[in-house]
Amino acid sequence: MIQVKKLVKRFGPKVVLRGLDFQVARGEFVALLGPNGAGKTTFLRILTSLSRPTLGQVTISGYALPAQASAVRRRLGVVSHQPLLYGDLTAEENLRFYARMYGVRNLEARIEQVLEMVGLASRRRDLVRTFSRGMQQRLAIGRAVLHDPDVMLFDEPHTGLDQDACAMLDDVLRNVAARGRTVVMTSHDLARIGDLASRFDVLSGGKIVASASRDEIGPDALLRFYRQSIVEKPAARELTI
């Protein structure tokens, strides 16, 4: 579903991604872990087509970036730590606007379904700026699934949320993944992402330095896996767990 080969991203003299290789199969939920400044957000911005790779190949659903960016965007749902919502529009108006941007058919019925899904149907006519951070993030997920994308990209969606809001967001995330969507999510919250993802990749120094499935890591060993990956920086898939 997602194929990345020898990806390099430079900002002037600074090299952020150094020949990164990454694959995600259809229906996988991959957690992308790594310290601050490792290049996670830069990598996700390239996958979303918001940033161009300096070198390397990126294909999503068989479409190459950046050449076929529009076809890729049609298949992507993106949630970042910013909600990408307009505070002076209601929840319903925000979804209607994005539904029109994505050409969603039968949009009123779809908006209704999505608001029910994220548990905001009763607040549909309230302005988004009156929403709590957790509610805004749930609506952001609703915005991202409006057009029923094959691939969902989440960039630290739990940032700034309290425990209750995180738990509600997790329910929505499980729901999103349950329909067989491919999900890539960056996070620093290992405890939370450990319950959600099926595979864990560690990005450090502009490369994937470790990759393992949930079964390979075993229960309650994600923190150890992560620390070993960052400290020892072994080559991908060579880590002793």
Q: Is 26 in the site for another protein (CB under 8 A)?
A: no
Burial of 3 (0-12, 13-18, 19+ CB in 10 A): middle
- CA torsion sign, 26 to 32 to 38 to 39? positive
Residues between 189 and 218 with contacts to another protein, criterion CB under 8 A? none
Chosen residue from 18, 21, 23, 119 binding another protein by CB under 8 A: 119
Q: Measure Cα distances from 24 to 1, 28, 199, 203 in Å.
A: 6, 6, 9, 15
Smallest gap from residue 19 Cβ to another protein (A): 20
Q: Is 87 in the site for another protein (CB under 8 A)?
A: yes
Q: Which residue in 150, 158, 180 sits closest to 77, CA to CA? A: 150
| Mode of pairing for the β-strands spanning 199-204 and 207-213 | antiparallel
Q: Which is nearer to another protein, 107 or 221 (CB)?
A: 107
Q: Is 82 in the site for another protein (CB under 8 A)?
A: yes
Q: Which range binds another protein by CB under 8 A, 23-31, 53-61, 65-73, 225-233?
A: 65-73
Chosen residue from 50, 55, 191, 235 binding another protein by CB under 8 A: 50
Q: How far apart are CA 168 and CA 90, in angstroms?
A: 21
Are the C-beta atoms of residues 165 and 134 closer than 8 Å to each other?
A: yes
Q: How far apart are CA 81 and CA 66, in angstroms?
A: 24
Residues between 143 and 172 with contacts to another protein, criterion CB under 8 A? 143, 145-148, 171-172
User: How many residues form the binding site for another protein (CB under 8 A)?
Assistant: 50
Smallest gap from residue 24 Cβ to another protein (A): 19
Amino acid at 4: V
Which residues bind to another protein, rule: CB under 8 A?
Answer: 45, 48-52, 70-71, 73-74, 76, 78, 80, 82-89, 93, 97-98, 100-106, 110, 113-114, 116-117, 119, 127, 143, 145-148, 171-172, 174-176, 178-179
